[in-house]
Amino acid sequence: MNVQDLIDLRDNALGEVRAAQDAAGLEAVRIAYLGRKGLLPKIMEELRNVDPGERPLFGKTANELKNAVAEGIKARQGELAGGTGDGPGFDPTQPGRWPGLGTRHPITQITDRIVQIFQTLGFTVADGPDIETVWNNFDALNTPPDHPSRDEQDTFYLDNGDLMRCHTSPVQVRHMMAHPPPVRIISPGRCYRRDTPDATHSANFHQVEGLYVDENVSLADLKGTLSYFARELMGPDVKVRFRPHFFPFTEPSVEVDFTCHVCHGKGCRVCKNSGWIEILGAGMVDPNVFDAVGYDKAKVTGFAFGMGIERITMILYGIHDIRNLYENDVRFLNQF
């Protein structure tokens, strides 16, 4: 067999491809030429017997034959799938099908709603990088060296010593270092922690944190701000409860609960019969944080708060497994 024989074989193969009237006939042509025991594998086996001077051209022509047959089969498959095989596979007279419009992800919807509420109070949106320094993520936020959150079991550290931020509080540090008071910001974004994924935990999640720093800011301002937020988010009848707590970067610190949106405080399975659902953490900014960012703690005070967006989304929409938010199941997402 020579090069001209390969060219003739290509023309014959393409003719048989075009003549195939159905998928079964086309598959028979494919097996005859490209199958494990077909003509092309046998030709490639004979390549070693070709004269060394003709071998490069022979091998190149054989590969061109193989590619031409494979492409011809693929094109004919499309024609047979779209039509009868006697004409074009696409019928331009068929009416079009309007694709369904997508919707915003529930995480995005809740984030936008939270930001909108705080913007009505004069808060502006601030952003920062997902990869942070240890100083911004821990030191400047008054987190002691032996705090459990610094452990490698809880935080994603990078080879250069930086880390994936475990909260959006570093945005507050960056903003205060770049802007003198007064400061009134809200910072939504992704966070990362070494959590084992389950129904309520994820290694990648979202938070919204807020910061207000000015002269004579008090805990009463914090309570008023969060009470307004609760009514706007959950409805005018919601009640708010503040419980003492501890966070390294606020003093005093509080946990903030809203009355259950399902039972309205009467007690049900969702709130574990307590009538309350924990929503966020907050408190007055610790003076040590002001020292770290260069603010005069004798002149200014401030409050900060933070909440998990996934938690609020699950509460408002009745979602029982956080993993549903990330599996990209269209049947689930279409509900929102």
Q: What is the pLDDT at residue 213? A: 97
Q: Which residues of the chain have pLDDT under 70?
A: 1, 82-91
pLDDT digits (tens, 9 = 90+) for 152-177: 989 999 999 999 999 999 999 999 99
Q: What is the pLDDT at residue 267? A: 82
Q: What is the pLDDT at residue 82? A: 63
* Range 259-264 contact pairs with CB under 8 angstroms and sequence separation of 24 or more: 259/234, 261/234, 261/235, 261/315, 261/316, 264/237
Q: What is the pLDDT at residue 89? A: 55
- Tokens of residue 59, six digits: 């091998």
Q: What is the pLDDT at residue 85? A: 45
Q: Which residues, 6 or more positions from 306, have their beta carbon under 8 angstroms from its beta carbon?
A: 167, 168, 169, 207, 208, 209, 210, 280, 281, 282
- With 0.75 as the threshold, say if the pTM is over it: no
Q: How far apart are the C-alpha atoms of 335 and 146, rounded to whole Å?
A: 45
Q: What is the pLDDT at residue 90? A: 62
- Among 21, 24, 27, smallest CA distance to 87 is for 21
Secondary structure letter of residue 99 according to DSSP:
P
Q: What is the pLDDT at residue 327? A: 86
Q: Which residues, 6 or more positions from 317, have their beta carbon under 8 angstroms from its beta carbon?
A: 106, 336
pLDDT digits (tens, 9 = 90+) for 174-232: 999 999 999 999 999 999 999 888 888 888 999 999 999 999 999 999 999 999 999 99
